[in-house]
């Protein structure tokens, strides 16, 4: 008889229940699946947080970079539109001070001639303070080794004592920003940086770009100023050449008039001499008195001709520098006594009176006596020639160190326009060939040179046509 296997709870329990698993010795206990997931989530969160911080920093740096690029573009447009070094310095300093929150700063540029660096613009200091901060060239900091073409912080001992004004009471660090073009330090900025300010890479890049823009602008401003000066110099030279050409044309015209006039002036007395001489030689006179009168007229014409030739010779000597004067102490009273009879013999209208001063107490003067007589006789001859009625008077006035001799007439006078020409060669008041009064126009020119060579002066004064003329000469007292 076959017996059946046991059934019921006893058999079920014995078959399906195995109890807790036993971990072999030496192996770690396995982690629950929930703990692993939690660890992965925390790691992911840390990475996301770090990525967010990096993204925020990157956005901030991009924002600053974008702002700096906008500022640099704006500055570039301004610098491209200006041609003055002072405006360049002002714009660059404003940008640097605002972008880096500097309390003080200044910009220097190389002065003309390269003798030093002069401050062009300052911030945070009064103008008298920053304008006195002149620095040497080509190295503004000769006491301290320094790479002049490189931006850098300056040592506390760098630079003159005056730069302490930029450091201020807080002893701010100074940052040096050079503007170099073609190995020439055209200028630089020195900024009092905040102590907590750290220059990032993008800050350095922006400064480098601004340096190049500023250096080129300063170089262009220097070129523009140099070209402007050359243009102005050329314009001045052109105006001077135009003035000289006009003067040469006028002198040529006056010389032509002089030659024509001189030919006429020389021919007139020469014709008189030849005519009177021929009359005497042909016996065409009634008696000895008439013959003597003809000879006297011939002699006067000869004297007049000699005077004209002497004027021409004197002018030639003046232009060649061979005219000489011999100054000595001379009694003016005696000299006037010698001049008086000669002047009284000059032809004049019957209505004209010749008035002489009292010469009793006149001092001695330092002159060339023959040349002073020549000047006085020339002035008296002119006055008598141009006066139809009234008087011609000689006046003497003593002043400190010199005497003033005046020849005053009541003649035709001189217009203001003509007064500017009377001391020029070949010039006369009326001008032209058909003048009522003769003369070569050389007398006053010669008188002016003679008076200057004797240490004196000569001037003319007239209220205008019809108002008479006063000629004054000054001579030094011995």
CATH at 134? 3.30.450.40
Residue 57 lies in a domain: no
Confidence of residue 174 (pLDDT cuts 50, 70, 90): very high
Examine the domain organization and report whether 276 and 359 are in the same domain. no
Residue 408 lies in a domain: yes
pLDDT single digits (tens) 391-408 = 999 999 999 999 999 999
Examine the domain organization and report whether 310 and 328 are in the same domain. no
Burial (0-12, 13-18, 19+ Cβ within 10 Å), 426: buried
Q: Beta 457-461 vs 174-181: how paired, if at all?
A: unpaired
Instruction: Check residue 411 and report its DSSP letter.
Output: S
**Confidence at residue 1, expressed as pLDDT on a 0 to 100 scale:** 38
Confidence of residue 13 (pLDDT cuts 50, 70, 90): very low
Angstrom distance (rounded) from CA 352 to CA 392? 7
**Confidence at residue 444, expressed as pLDDT on a 0 to 100 scale:** 85
Work out the average pLDDT over 297-313. 81
First to last CA, the chain: 186
Contacts of 83 by beta carbon, 8 Å cutoff, 6+ apart: 220, 221, 224, 225
Does residue 457 register a pLDDT over 90? yes
Angstrom distance (rounded) from CA 474 to CA 314? 21
Dihedral-angle region of residue 320 (phi above 0 means left; psi in -120 to 50 means alpha; beta otherwise) = alpha
Examine the domain organization and report whether 185 and 301 are in the same domain. no
pLDDT single digits (tens) 121-163 = 999 999 999 998 999 888 888 877 667 788 888 887 777 788 8
pLDDT single digits (tens) 195-233 = 887 888 878 888 888 888 888 888 888 888 778 888 888
Domain containing 452: what range?
324-476
Residue 423 lies in a domain: yes
Does residue 238 register a pLDDT over 60? yes
Angstrom distance (rounded) from CA 188 to CA 177? 5
Examine the domain organization and report whether 172 and 274 are in the same domain. no
Examine the domain organization and report whether 342 and 436 are in the same domain. yes
Angstrom distance (rounded) from CA 331 to CA 246? 45
Work out the average pLDDT over 437-449. 75
For the chain, the average pLDDT equals 82
pLDDT single digits (tens) 56-73 = 877 766 766 666 667 667
3-state SS string over 99-145?
A: HCCCCEEEEEEECCCCCEEEEEEEECCCHHHHCCCCEECCCCCCCCC
Residue 104 lies in a domain: yes
**Confidence at residue 372, expressed as pLDDT on a 0 to 100 scale:** 93
Residue 444 lies in a domain: yes
Examine the domain organization and report whether 286 and 372 are in the same domain. no
Angstrom distance (rounded) from CA 120 to CA 110? 10
pLDDT single digits (tens) 412-427 = 998 888 887 777 765 5
Work out the average pLDDT over 239-262. 81
Does residue 83 register a pLDDT over 90? no
Angstrom distance (rounded) from CA 303 to CA 446? 19
Higher pLDDT among residues 100 and 23, named by residue? 100
**Confidence at residue 366, expressed as pLDDT on a 0 to 100 scale:** 94
In DSSP notation, 400-449 reads: TTEEEEEEEE-SS---HHHHTTTTSTT--SS-SSS-SS---S-HHHHHHH
CB contact at 8 A, 370 and 342:
no
Confidence of residue 440 (pLDDT cuts 50, 70, 90): low
Both tokens assigned to 366: 């330092």
Q: Beta 352-355 vs 390-399: how paired, if at all?
A: parallel
In DSSP notation, 21-82 reads: PPPPTTSPPPPPHHHHHHHHHHHHHHHHHHHHHHHHHHHHHHHHHHHHHHHHHHHHHHHHH-
Residue 86 lies in a domain: yes
User: Which of 281, 315, 349 is the endpoint of a domain?
Assistant: 315
Examine the domain organization and report whether 304 and 342 are in the same domain. no
pLDDT single digits (tens) 337-385 = 999 988 888 888 889 999 998 877 888 999 999 999 989 998 998 899 8
pLDDT single digits (tens) 277-290 = 888 888 888 888 88
User: Which of 273, 297, 315 is the endpoint of a domain?
Assistant: 315
**Confidence at residue 468, expressed as pLDDT on a 0 to 100 scale:** 92
pLDDT single digits (tens) 94-117 = 888 888 889 999 999 998 778 899
Examine the domain organization and report whether 280 and 310 are in the same domain. yes
**Composition of the chain by helix, strand, coil, percent to 5:** 50, 15, 35
Cis preceding linkage at 309, omega within 30: no
**Confidence at residue 454, expressed as pLDDT on a 0 to 100 scale:** 92
Examine the domain organization and report whether 109 and 142 are in the same domain. yes
Q: Percent of the chain at pLDDT above 90?
A: 26
Examine the domain organization and report whether 392 and 464 are in the same domain. yes
Does residue 35 register a pLDDT over 90? no
Examine the domain organization and report whether 330 and 429 are in the same domain. yes
User: Which of 157, 181, 199 is the endpoint of a domain?
Assistant: 199
Both tokens assigned to 331: 């009694």
CB contact at 8 A, 80 and 104:
no
pLDDT single digits (tens) 179-193 = 998 888 999 999 999
CB contact at 8 A, 147 and 128:
no
**Confidence at residue 72, expressed as pLDDT on a 0 to 100 scale:** 64
**Confidence at residue 8, expressed as pLDDT on a 0 to 100 scale:** 45
What number of other Cβ atoms are within 10 A of residue 291's Cβ?
16
- Number of folded domains in the chain? 3
CATH (domain of 390): 3.30.565.10
Burial (0-12, 13-18, 19+ Cβ within 10 Å), 297: middle
Helix axes 288-320 and 201-281, enclosed angle (nearest 10): 160
**Confidence at residue 71, expressed as pLDDT on a 0 to 100 scale:** 67
Examine the domain organization and report whether 108 and 147 are in the same domain. yes
Confidence of residue 17 (pLDDT cuts 50, 70, 90): very low
**Confidence at residue 122, expressed as pLDDT on a 0 to 100 scale:** 93
Residue 250 lies in a domain: no
Does residue 463 register a pLDDT over 80? yes
Residue 2 lies in a domain: no
């Amino acid at each position: 008889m076959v017996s059946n296997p046991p059934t019921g709870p006893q058999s079920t329990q014995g078959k399906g229940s195995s109890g807790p698993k036993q971990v072999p010795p030496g192996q770690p206990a396995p982690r629950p699946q929930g703990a692993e997931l939690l660890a992965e989530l925390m790691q992911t969160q840390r990475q996301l947080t770090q990525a967010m911080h990096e993204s925020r920093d990157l956005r901030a740096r991009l924002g600053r970079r974008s702002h700096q690029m906008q500022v640099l573009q704006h500055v570039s447009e301004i610098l491209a539109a200006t041609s003055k070094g002072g405006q360049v310095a002002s714009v660059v300093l404003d940008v640097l001070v605002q972008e880096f929150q500097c309390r003080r700063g200044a910009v220097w540029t190389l002065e003309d001639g390269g003798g030093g660096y002069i401050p062009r613009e300052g911030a945070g200091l009064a103008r008298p303070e920053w304008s006195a901060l002149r620095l040497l060239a080509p190295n503004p900091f000769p006491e301290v080794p320094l790479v002049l073409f490189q931006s850098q912080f300056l040592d506390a001992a760098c630079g003159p004592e005056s730069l302490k004004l930029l450091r201020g009471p807080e002893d701010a660090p100074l940052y040096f920003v050079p503007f170099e073009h073609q190995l020439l330090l055209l200028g630089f900025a020195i900024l009092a940086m905040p102590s907590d300010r750290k220059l990032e890479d993008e800050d350095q890049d922006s400064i480098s770009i601004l340096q190049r823009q500023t250096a080129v602008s300063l170089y262009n401003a220097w070129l523009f100023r140099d070209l402007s000066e050359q243009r102005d110099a050329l314009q001045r030279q052109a105006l001077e050449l135009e003035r000289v050409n006009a003067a040469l044309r006028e002198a040529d015209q006056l010389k032509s008039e002089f030659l024509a006039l001189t030919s006429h002036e020389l021919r007139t007395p020469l014709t008189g001499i030849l005519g009177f001489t021929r009359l005497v030689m042909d016996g065409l006179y009634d008696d000895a008195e008439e013959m003597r009168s003809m000879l006297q007229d011939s002699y006067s014409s000869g004297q007049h001709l000699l005077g004209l030739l002497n004027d021409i010779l004197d002018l030639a000597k003046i232009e060649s520098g061979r005219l000489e004067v011999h100054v000595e102490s001379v009694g003016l009273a005696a000299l006037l006594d010698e001049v008086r009879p000669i002047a009284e013999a000059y032809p004049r209208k019957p209505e004209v009176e010749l008035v002489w001063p009292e010469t009793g107490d006149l001092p001695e003067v330092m002159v060339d006596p023959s040349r002073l007589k020549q000047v006085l006789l020339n002035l008296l001859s002119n006055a008598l020639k141009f006066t139809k009625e009234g008087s011609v008077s000689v006046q003497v006035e003593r002043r400190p160190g010199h005497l003033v001799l005046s020849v005053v007439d009541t003649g035709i006078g001189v217009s203001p326009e003509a007064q500017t020409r009377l001391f020029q060669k070949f010039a006369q008041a009326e001008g032209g060939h058909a003048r009522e009064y003769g003369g070569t126009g050389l007398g006053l020119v010669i008188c002016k040179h003679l008076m200057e060579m004797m240490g004196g002066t000569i001037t003319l004064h007239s209220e205008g046509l019809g108002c008479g003329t006063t000629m004054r000469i000054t001579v030094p007292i011995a």
